[in-house]
Structure 1
Amino acid sequence: MPALSFIVSMSVYMLLLYLFLEFTREKQGFYKWFFILALLTIPLWFLNLHSWFRWAKSISVLIPICFVSFVRIANDGSKKDFLPSLKKKWPLWILYVVLMLNIAEATKTDFELGNYFNAIAGVILCITIPLPTKHWRIAKNDGKRNFGELIADLPLAWCLLYVTWNACFVYAENTSYIASSICILIIPEIWMLSKKRTDLWLMGRIYTLALHILIRSSYDIFTPLMDSTNWFNASVLNIWGIVNCVLHVAYLGYWFFKLRNKDYVIKHSAQNYELQGA
C-alpha cells in the first residue's frame, strides 16, 4: 500500500477522532445515546469477531462506556435527582477496575504470544495506576469549560508509557491494525495538549478506543484502508519490547521511591506534631 494512502487515511481518521472527542465532551445527548444505540450493533459482531480476546475487548469497552455516560450525567450538576447513587465514589472504582482489566487482557495476550518484555511493562502499568480515592473525579458543569468530564490525574509519564506499551502490543497481536491503532493512541495526546489539560487523557483514551472498537466489531474498514501487515519485523518487536520493559521498570522504581518518600514525609510530620503536642 503506497505511503500516500496511509497518510491520507490516517489523517482523515485522526480528524474524525478529534471531532468525536469534542462532541463527546460537550454534547450530553450525543455521548449518552450514541453508545446505547451502538450496542444494537451486537448482531454484527458475530460476523467480525473471531477470538475470545476480540469479544472480551468489545464487551469490556462498549458496555462500560455507556456506564461512563450516565456517571457523567449524574455528576455534571444539571440534574440533582438523577441517579444519586452515581454521585458516590464507587463508580470511579468501577472505572478503575475496567482500566486495569483492559490492560490485563492485553498483557495476558502478550504472554501468550511470547512478547514477554512488553507483558512485564503491562503488569507495571497495572501496579502504578493512581487510585480513584484522590486522583479520579467527575467535574461539574460550570457553563464554560467543564461538561461532566471524567478527570484522572494520571502522570504524563504514565500516559506516554501506556501509549508505547499498547502500540507494541498491537504490533505483536495483529500488525495489520497498528496504523489505525497509532491514530487512536496519538489523538488523546494531541487533544489533551490542545486543551492544556493532561487530566483529560483518560477520557480521550476511552472514547477514542470505544469508537474504534465499535467500528472494528461492526465492520472492518481498516484492512482495506490502512492494512499495515507488511510493517511487521520480528527484530523491531523484540527491541521495542525490551525498550518498553526498561522504561517501565525505571518508572516503577521512580514510582516506588516517590511513594516511599511520601509515606516518610507523612510519618515524619505526624511524629513532629505529636512531639509539639507533648
Structure 2
Amino acid sequence: MVIWPHVISMPIYFALLLGVIVFFRKHYKLSAYFWLASLLTFPLWLMGNVDGWFRWVKILSVIIPTIIVGFSRIAVHEDKKGPIWDFLKKDDFLWFFYAILFLNIAEATIKDITLGNYSNAACGFLLCVTIPFAPKYWKILKNSSADLVAYTTGSWNFIYTSWNACFVYAESPMYFASSLCILLAAELYPVMKKRPELYITARIYTLAAHLLLRACFDIFPKVMDSTSWFNPQVMSVWGIINFVIIVPYVFWHMWQLHNNKAQYSFKRLKSA
C-alpha cells in the first residue's frame, strides 16, 4: 500500500477546504452567484466525470440547494422585498433545507442497503430521525455573515461524519481519502469555532466544492486513490460501531424533546 502521496495531498486538500468554508461563509452574496454560475460547467460533467444515477442525483441535490442557500442568505441579510425574496425569508421555508439534508442522508442510506452495509444504513436512518426540526432549530442569522445555522449537537455531527465516512468507504473506496478530507474539514471547523450549529453550513460548502471539482476535473484517482484501503471486514465493523453509538444518542435526543429540554441542549442556551 503506497500512502506517501496521501501524506502530501490530503493535508493540502484539507486546508483548501477549510478556506472554502471561511470564504463562502464570509462572502454570502458572492457565494450565491458563484454557485449559480457553477451550473455553466454542465458540459464538463457530460465528459464522463459524472456517471450513474446516484452521482447525477448527488451533485444536483447538492449544487441546487447550495444556490438556494446563497440567495436565502441574501434575502434575510439585506431584507430584500418581492414575492420570491419574501418566500425565501419565511421561517417555513427552512423546512426546505431540512428536507434536503434528510433526502441526502436517505440517498446514501438506500445505497448502503444495496451495498450490504446494513448496520451503517440503520445508522443513517436514525440520523434522519434525529435531525433537529425546522424552523425551530434552523435559522438564517442576521449577522455579518448571514449564517445558515442548524442546531445540531457536537455528538450528532460526529456520528454523521463517521457514518458518511463509512458509507464512502463502502461505496467509493477510490475516493475515500478525498472524501475524508471534506468530512474532517466540516467536522473540525465548527469545533474550532466552538459553534456546532455551523456544521451544516460547513458540510454544504465542502461537499458542493468537492462534487463540482470531481464533476469538472476529476484529479482524485491520480493524487488520492485509496482503493487499496478497502477491507469488507472493516466496512462491516465500522457500520456496527456507528449503529451502536447512535442508539443511545437517539434515546437522549427523544428525551430532550419529551422533557422540553431541547431548546437548551440543542441551542446551548442556559436553562431558566
TM-score scaled by length of structure 2:
0.91
Residue 259 of structure 1 is matched in structure 2 by 257
Given that residues 113 and 121 in structure 2 are in contact (C-alpha distance below 8 angstroms), is that contact kept between their aligned partners in structure 1?
A: yes
3-state SS of 1:134 partner: coil
Identity of aligned residues (%): 45
Residue 92 of structure 1 is matched in structure 2 by 94
3-state SS of 1:137 partner: strand
Residue 63 of structure 1 is matched in structure 2 by 64
Q: Quick one: which amino acid aligns to residue 84 of structure 1?
A: D
Q: Quick one: which amino acid aligns to residue 87 of structure 1?
A: K
Please give the alpha-carbon distance, in whole angstroms, between the structure 1 residues aligned to 2:60 and 2:199: 22
Q: Which runs of 5+ in 1 are unaligned?
A: 264-278
1:13 positional shift: 0.6
Please give the alpha-carbon distance, in whole angstroms, between the structure 2 residues aligned to 1:221 and 1:90: 40
3-state SS of 2:145 partner: coil
Given that residues 161 and 187 in structure 2 are in contact (C-alpha distance below 8 angstroms), is that contact kept between their aligned partners in structure 1?
A: no
Please give the alpha-carbon distance, in whole angstroms, between the structure 2 residues aligned to 1:74 and 1:150: 12
Q: Quick one: which amino acid aligns to residue 60 of structure 2?
A: I
1:258 positional shift: 2.8
Is 1:37 equivalent to 2:37 in the alignment? yes
Residue 13 of structure 1 is matched in structure 2 by 13
Please give the alpha-carbon distance, in whole angstroms, between the structure 2 residues aligned to 1:91 and 1:48: 33
1:87 positional shift: 1.2
1:29 positional shift: 3.7
1:147 positional shift: 0.9
Pairing of 1:155-174 with structure 2 (within 5 A): 155-174=153-172
1:260 positional shift: 2.7
1:193 positional shift: 2.1
Given that residues 23 and 30 in structure 1 are in contact (C-alpha distance below 8 angstroms), is that contact kept between their aligned partners in structure 2?
A: no
Q: Which runs of 5+ in 2 are unaligned?
A: 262-272
3-state SS of 1:30 partner: helix
Residue 269 of structure 1 is matched in structure 2 by none
Q: Quick one: which amino acid aligns to residue 235 of structure 2?
A: L
Given that residues 115 and 238 in structure 1 are in contact (C-alpha distance below 8 angstroms), is that contact kept between their aligned partners in structure 2?
A: yes
3-state SS of 2:238 partner: helix
Is 1:181 equivalent to 2:179 in the alignment? yes
Given that residues 35 and 66 in structure 1 are in contact (C-alpha distance below 8 angstroms), is that contact kept between their aligned partners in structure 2?
A: yes
- Structure 1 window deviating more from structure 2 (15-24 vs 249-258): it is 249-258
CA gap of 1:241–1:140, structure 2 versus 1, over 3 A, is: same
Please give the alpha-carbon distance, in whole angstroms, between the structure 1 residues aligned to 2:28 and 2:253: 36
Please give the alpha-carbon distance, in whole angstroms, between the structure 2 residues aligned to 1:92 and 1:256: 22
Given that residues 92 and 135 in structure 2 are in contact (C-alpha distance below 8 angstroms), is that contact kept between their aligned partners in structure 1?
A: no
Pairing of 1:76-155 with structure 2 (within 5 A): 76=77, 78-81=78-81, 83-141=85-143, 146-155=144-153
TM-score scaled by length of structure 1:
0.89
Is 1:48 equivalent to 2:46 in the alignment? no
Please give the alpha-carbon distance, in whole angstroms, between the structure 1 residues aligned to 2:193 and 2:154: 14
Given that residues 32 and 68 in structure 2 are in contact (C-alpha distance below 8 angstroms), is that contact kept between their aligned partners in structure 1?
A: no
Please give the alpha-carbon distance, in whole angstroms, between the structure 2 residues aligned to 1:189 and 1:116: 24
1:57 positional shift: 0.1
RMSD, matched Cα: 1.5
Residue 268 of structure 2 is matched in structure 1 by none
Given that residues 25 and 149 in structure 1 are in contact (C-alpha distance below 8 angstroms), is that contact kept between their aligned partners in structure 2?
A: yes
Please give the alpha-carbon distance, in whole angstroms, between the structure 1 residues aligned to 2:138 and 2:169: 30
Higher gyration radius (CA): 1
Q: Quick one: which amino acid aligns to residue 99 of structure 2?
A: V
1:30 positional shift: 2.4
